């Protein structure tokens, strides 16, 4: 029996975001190169995308490469960029078949041409997918995103496109890379660290946080369903008290 059978399909997190961590340690534990961990991690993405489709999740954002990850050894960065091309190219037919739309957030212009091209091609081909939006965060960090939003807002106020006094939370949402996406409902981090590492600081303000020691290459469909079951046990109060929520649900 799959844990999917236990999942309440009336309370599915609309937006799941994942900090896919632990590839290096997974490899080290097996006396393998770190790149082998990244390779194995690609297979996990495929499983988790399938599981999200099965569970009817609408947005899945995966943190594939942070702005800070550019500081890693050049060899490792190159391997990751190659693996992304491999993943995107291999997955495109499946994404098309399953109605999955690929999108990206981050400093796309910093990516090597081969990675950028593969990404844009896949995004174009899958643009009409409606079942699930798969968002790959690449050269992404929250502070980069918020700094960029501040600059863009300042420019628009200066140009007279925007009235500074009328800026609301909604305005800020519209200047983020995640514009038009719902807030994160469930944030998962694999690999045992209990930290956010500059990911979705604004969008995950009210997300349920799920941390697991499982290294990303060992994570699978059932692990995803387990995280959804954890989410479903939570009472999301958004600042209110339980009694108010009970009344609202009557
Ligand atoms: C993968 O895990 C996440 C990426 C940055 C690609 P790591 O490569 O960070 O693995 P650990 O944390 O060293 O085990
Ligand atoms: C976070 O993992 C970034 C991604 C998963 C892409 P890291 O391994 O880079 O995070 P830190 O450095 O341990 O916080
Ligand atoms: Mg790590």
Neighbours of ion ligand 3 (CB under 5 A): 21
Q: Which residues of the chain have pLDDT under 70?
A: none
Q: What CA–CA distance (Å, rounded) separates 201 from 17?
A: 12
- Which ligand is the nearest neighbour of the Cα of 41? 1
Q: Which of 69, 98, 174, 198 is catalytic?
A: 69
First-to-last C-alpha distance (Å) of the chain: 33
Instruction: Judge if the beta carbon of residue 217 lies within 6 A of ligand 1.
Output: no
Instruction: Classify residue 6 by its DSSP letter.
Output: G
Concerning whether 69 is annotated as a catalytic residue, the answer is yes
Residue in 5, 8, 9, 21 annotated catalytic: 21
Report pLDDT for 182. Answer: 98
Give the CA distances from residue 194 to residues 185, 213, 250, in Å, rounded to whole numbers and listed in that order.
18, 10, 37
Nearest CA to ligand 2 atom 10: 197
DSSP letters, 68-111, are GGGGS-HHHHHHHHHHHHHHHHHHHHHHHHTTEEEEEES-GGGS
Asked if 173 is an active-site residue, the reply is no
- Domains belonging to the chain, first-starting first, are 13-141+183-235 (3.40.1180.10)
Q: How far is the CA of 24 from the centre of ligand 1 (A)?
A: 5
Report d(CA 67, CA 142) in Å as an integer: 9
Residue 96 backbone phi and psi in degrees, to 5: -60, -45
- Regarding pTM above 0.95, the answer is yes
pLDDT of residue 218: 98
CA proximity to 223, closest of 39, 64, 10, 3? 3
Q: How far apart are CA 119 and CA 102, in angstroms?
A: 8
CB of 24 closer than 6 angstroms to any ligand 1 atom: yes
């Amino acid at each position: 029996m799959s844990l999917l059978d236990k999942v309440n399909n009336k309370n599915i997190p609309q937006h799941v975001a994942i900090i896919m961590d632990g590839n290096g340690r997974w490899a080290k534990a097996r006396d393998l190169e770190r790149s082998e961990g990244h390779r194995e991690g690609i297979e996990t993405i495929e499983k988790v995308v399938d599981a999200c489709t099965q569970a009817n999740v609408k947005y899945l954002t995966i943190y594939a490469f942070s702005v800070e990850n550019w500081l890693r050894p050049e060899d490792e960065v190159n391997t990751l960029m190659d693996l992304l091309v491999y993943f995107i190219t291999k997955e495109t037919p499946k994404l098309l078949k399953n109605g999955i739309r690929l999108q990206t957030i981050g400093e796309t212009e910093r990516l090597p041409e081969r990675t950028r091209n593969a990404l844009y091609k896949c995004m174009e081909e899958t643009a009409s997918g409606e079942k699930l939006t798969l968002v790959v965060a690449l050269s992404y960090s929250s502070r980069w995103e918020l700094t960029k939003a501040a600059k863009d807002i300042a420019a628009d106020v200066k140009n007279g496109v925007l009235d500074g006094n009328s800026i609301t939370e909604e305005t800020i949402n519209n200047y983020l890379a995640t514009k038009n996406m719902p807030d994160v409902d469930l944030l998962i981090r694999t690999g045992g660290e209990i930290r956010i590492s500059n990911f979705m600081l604004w969008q995950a303000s009210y997300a349920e946080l799920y941390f697991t020691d499982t290294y990303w290459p060992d994570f699978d469909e059932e692990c995803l369903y387990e995280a959804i079951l954890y989410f479903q046990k939570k009472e999301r109060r958004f600042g209110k008290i339980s009694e108010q929520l009970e009344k609202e649900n009557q």
